[in-house]
Amino acid sequence: MMEQYTASENRYNDMVYNRVGMSGLKFPAISLGFWHNFGTNGNFDTMREVCRTAFDSGITQFDLANNYGPEYGSAEENLGRILDADFRPYRDELVITTKAGYDMWPGPYGDHGSRKYLIASLDQSLKRMKLDYVDIFYHHRMDPDTPLEESMTALADIVRSGKALYAGISNYDRDNTEKAAKILRDLHCPFIVNQRCYNILNRTIEEDGVKEYCRSHGIGIIAYSPLAQGLLTGKYLHGVPSDSRIAKGSRFLHTSDLTPERIQQIADLDRIAKERGQDLAQMALSWILRDGGVCSVIIGASKPSQITDNVAAVSHTSFTEEELAAIDEISARVK
């Protein structure tokens, strides 16, 4: 039984807070994601400790989705328990977000982007988290089978209902980001952010133009998988640790991904990080935050020490031209 939690009085001293697009909302430069480690396969006391350490470090944003687990919905349920145990008094200091767009329940109404699915899913999410509203509700992915106007109107109506304060999209490319922004602007809906995968090894948001579009049109970008599912932590330089995602059977990273070329690429990036006085994970986070084009990075954590280590990245986001050029060259070797 943990003792009653009182947040650190110094929790805002060291974190950087970045404006989200042209909105009045600010994100912490580092946010905590519940994609992994917060489902039925996690230890609840560890989850609480991770959240406590995050909030005490100035991480005010908890990022979820309806089907985060495993099992589906369990991350939201566990957040509800964590809020009850520790964070209800601090609700107004937290940005809590969730999403819908991927498979959630059986049948034709539990997936994709229909008005029925999005509204029903958020109602379920609020019940699991025991909240009256979320700060941001995202459509989780583009859906070619549903008119974009239908999905975006559902987001606007959700915000108008008070069940979300802002609308967001996730995994939208440049063209659909532009179209969604126009629809939501015409509906006078506060659409503020696109959540995309972005890291040193995956630069799709630069290549497809969405990073520059969002920057020039007042839309924030928040990056998920900033450490490339753990590749950019250095943990795989000397084999596969027993507690790693690969060892546990990750859907997104496999032993076959650890080619000699990839290992050498990671080792060379790790060398640059050490020369900067950082570990590889810290440098990977700093690199994303280097130019102001991304307002926050979403980290996962299986233990509190990972939070502390990663938060140190916000104080060292400047790079020399030589460092950036070397990182670019190394990154281009293996796609």
pLDDT tens readout for residues 28-82: 999 999 999 999 999 999 999 999 999 999 999 999 999 999 999 999 999 999 9
Average pLDDT over the chain, rounded to an integer? 95
Contact at 8 Å (CB) between 5 and 288?
Answer: no
Characterize 49-59 residue by residue with b for buried, 16 or more Cβ atoms within 10 angstroms of its Cβ, and e for exposed.
bbbbbbbbbbb
Mean pLDDT, residues 2-13 taken together: 96
> Residue 221 corresponds to which tokens in the numbers above?
């970008």
For residue 152, give the CATH number of its domain: 3.20.20.100
Helix/strand/coil percent split, the chain, to 5: 45, 15, 40
pLDDT tens figures, 272-297: 999 999 999 999 999 999 999 999 99
Full residue range of the structural domain in which residue 154 is found? 17-229+291-303
The residue whose two tokens read 């069940």 is 163
Provide the domain count of the chain: 1
Those residues whose C-beta lies under 8 Å from the C-beta of residue 182, and which sit 6 or more positions away, are none
pLDDT of residue 270 exceeding 90, the answer is yes
pLDDT tens figures, 106-150: 999 999 999 999 999 999 999 999 999 999 999 999 999 999 999
Characterize 251-279 residue by residue with b for buried, 16 or more Cβ atoms within 10 angstroms of its Cβ, and e for exposed.
eebeeeebeeeebebbebbbebbeebebb
Mean pLDDT, residues 14-19 taken together: 98
Is 147 within the bounds of a domain? Answer: yes
Is 284 within the bounds of a domain? Answer: no
Entry pTM: 0.95
The residue whose two tokens read 């299986």 is 302
Which element (helix H / strand E) includes 68? Answer: none
Is 247 within the bounds of a domain? Answer: no
